[in-house]
Structure 1
Amino acid sequence: MKAHELRELSTTELNARLKDETAALQKLKFSKAVTGQLENPARITNHRREVARLKTIINEKNSAE
């Protein structure tokens, strides 16, 4: 999702997405550690960026309140 789409979501929805993205990232990292390779290694980078984007928007919303 794009940042402007994420800003329209509520804080609880953002926290739920953050939890899902963190779990997916952890699963990918574990899979890489076990097998030594991934089908698409760029997915790790994409998930890391999504987590950072979500944390930034959550902090923006908390600062605005």
Structure 2
Amino acid sequence: MATKKKQTAKVSKAAALREKDVAGLQAEIKDLQKAHFGLRMQKATQQLSNTGTLSVTRRDIARAKTILAQKQASAAAAK
């Protein structure tokens, strides 16, 4: 049951990202990268209590980059 809930959350994140345009996705990626950098610095200084957030943020960046690449490929194919 818990896995289905996690899958639904991932789908809703992806759906929310797909609604954004290319500029919005690029801004989202930049924000996520800044957040990930901050988390890495916290981990390096041993201030990060929940290290699982690093993995979640990294996956969110990958998800956003994948959707951005799909949008760019479909735009190139449409030309």
TM-score normalized with structure 2 length: 0.76
CA-based RMSD of the aligned residues comes to: 1.2
Question: Given the alignment, which residue of 34, 42, 48 partners 2:52?
Answer: 42
Aligned to 2:38: 27
Please identify the structure whose Cα radius of gyration is greater: 2
**Which structure 1 segments of 5+ residues have no match?**
none
Aligned to 1:14: 25
Instruction: Spell out structure 1 runs of 4+ moving beyond 6 A.
Output: none
Tell me, in whole angstroms, the C-alpha distance in 1 between the residues paired with 2:21 and 2:40.
28
Instruction: Select the structure with the greater relative contact order (CA < 8 A; seq sep ≥ 6).
Output: 1
TM-score normalized with structure 1 length: 0.91
